[in-house]
Copies of this chain bind each other. A is one copy, B any other.
Amino acid sequence: MPAGRPRDRAVDDAIRLAVFELIAEQGYQAVTMEGIAARSGVAKQTVYRRYSGRGQALVGALTEHGARHIPVPDTGTLAGDLAALLRDTFDSLTAGIGAVLRAVIAETLHDEALAELYRREHVELRRDVVRELLARARARGEIGPADDEFLVDLVFGPMWYRLLIGHAPLTETLARQLAAAVAAAAAIPAD
């Protein structure tokens, strides 16, 4: 199976960079397949060769950027771990990733295939971290049997709520309160 000309890695970078710059400078509306091509100095077809649409481009740029490694905190207590994780997450969302995530969600809302991709490539990785924190706390005897999936929803729900509805910012206070609330909920015996 002959290979043909290999893909140019520099093009991948140019596209990803263009996506981030467009979203930062002109907002999500400006992220358009045509705009990405123009901004990155790449042919439209070349963008389509990598991503089948705006949404795929956003998810692609995102995962290539942030999925490197998600630090798993270890402070000794569940509440401490959760507070540290949330603080870190809030920081990166506030720094700029938040705008990208909002754009990604806007796309997933009318493309279930993309939603599935996004959940697999991004959401589940974050949920796994919390699952691990819960398992560790349980190993320490800090919490008993519980519905971990519900607890994970409890950890991330308010964050997404504020990020997407925009009625309140992602503050450090929220991180602390949430960590405490989840720890308390984890102590409730599962039903």
Contact = CB atoms under 8 A, between A and B. Distances in A.
A104 B186 CA distance: 33
Nearest to A28: B110
Contacts of A158: 150, 153-154, 157-158
> Chain A at the B interface: mostly helix, strand, loop or mixed?
helix
Interface string A133-170: 00000000000000101100110111111101111100
Contact of A177 (B115, B150, B162): B150
Nearest to A181: B185
Most buried by B among A27, A102, A119, A157: A157
Contacts of A185: 180-181, 184-185
Given A109-B102, A110-B27, A188-B184, A161 B167 contact: no
Interface size class of A (residues with CB under 8 A): 35 or more
Copies of this chain, whole number: 4
Contacts of A29: 110
A127 B191 CA distance: 27
A166 B106 contact: no
A153 B161 CA distance: 7
A174 interface: yes
Given A28-B110, A109-B105, A191-B176, A168 B153 contact: yes
A185 to B, nearest CB: 4
Contacts of A28: 109-110
Nearest to A153: B158
A184 B186 CA distance: 10
Nearest to A190: B177
3 closest cross-chain pairs (CB), A and B = A157-B157, A157-B158, A181-B185
